[in-house]
Structure 1
């Protein structure tokens, strides 16, 4: 069986809480923050025609149901507007699943799944505006990379000719809006 690739781009929404501390000297701002979100980011992809056989196919899914970061940030304040860059640790709970079928051989099926907490890195930037002395609104972009994971899809047949190893790369982009209260 020749290697094959299924590309999926998970999409969805997330929401959660964040906490942090900022230190300002003049117009320069340095700080750190951590956040955690419940997420519903998922996608399924399918490829047909494995090894040139139009009846052979694979379906692969990826779902992130928890996501968070612990980051440093540095920025410059223009009166009530802060422009900043940020980066640090990213982590998430990811569920993978796959199903490969070699029709017309119904007994040659390869279901597989894995569920893992993964840690990696994130980098990004944003704008934060102080609406009052205590309330801010923010728009932020983050690129995250939680690394690669591998798992095997074990066959349902008693004596299969091979097994299937899946390698999944969990990386992507997040755009988010936030409302913050400063103590």
Structure 2
């Protein structure tokens, strides 16, 4: 019996390499390449921010041609859909220096000065986004502090009347906004304000019956903090 067991063990030892040789080698599998996560930008949500820039009166305005500094705040809400379109609403308020030195001197010696030191607007906004960039147009209601007119001849104030204060008007504009960090975006925009025409119904002879446009061209840069719904950006793998 002992000899039989020893013989069987010897046969098994001799057969093991032959069976191992018949097993095919495991094929080599290359590790999958690393794919960086795709960042998906989300413009949906509320935001607040501030801006600075300059204001320039139109050619037929009583503001004069000098540029004036402005600064202010804004806030609004955006909704992204379909999937690269963004629509929303924004309220904006700007302050300008209170300076009545600009004006128009008429041939008869009458000097008319005008000053707008506050501008506001409530607008709708529609834009197209690709990645972190948003190109948009805006338009809606505009307001200003009033028609702060002054009329004088040789430094002496003169009486006058106009056809209204022209405090309310409209605004249109557009710009580019860029999401440069989580919850933060920067923008540059142009905005035009129009408050209609002011007509002098009475006053010195060289201005009585004359009509002038009340408008402002503005250029602004600003920064917004975006609260978002779930954050302004997410990683997609």
TM-score (norm 2): 0.59
Paired residue for 1:46, among 82, 102, 105?
105
Q: Which residue of 1 aligns with 2:138?
A: 86
Aligned positions, number: 162
Map 1:35-114 to 2 at 5 A. 35-40=92-97, 43-47=102-106, 50=107, 56-94=108-146, 95-100=148-153, 110-112=158-160
Corresponding residue of 1:158: none
- Find 2:194's aligned residue among 141, 145, 168: 145
Q: CA RMSD in A?
A: 3.1
Deviations 1:128-175 (A, max 9, x none): 0001121111000011101123455657xxxxx999455442112110
Q: Which runs of 5+ in 1 are unaligned?
A: 51-55, 156-160
Q: Is the CA contact 1:10–1:62 (under 8 Å) kept in the aligned structure 2?
A: no
Instruction: Quote the Cα distance in structure 1 between the aligned partners of 2:220 and 2:137.
Output: 14
Aligned to 1:172: 216
Residues 44-83 of structure 1: CA deviation (Å, up to 9, x unaligned): 2213xx3xxxxx3121111111111000110101100100
Structure of higher RCO (CA pairs closer than 8 Å, 6+ residues apart): 2
Gaps of 5+ in 2: 1-59, 228-237
Normalising by structure 1, we get a TM-score of 0.75
Cα 1:127–1:41, aligned 2, differ >3 Å: closer, same or farther? farther
Pair 88,76 (structure 1): closer, same or farther in 2 beyond 3 Å: same
Decide whether the 8 Å contact of 1:93 with 1:116 is kept in 2: no
What residue is the counterpart of 1:128 in the other structure? 177
Q: Which position in structure 2 is the counterpart of 1:28?
A: 85
For the residue of structure 2 that corresponds to 1:131, the secondary structure is: strand
| Comparing 69-78 and 109-118, the one that deviates more | 109-118
**Larger Rg over CA atoms:** 2
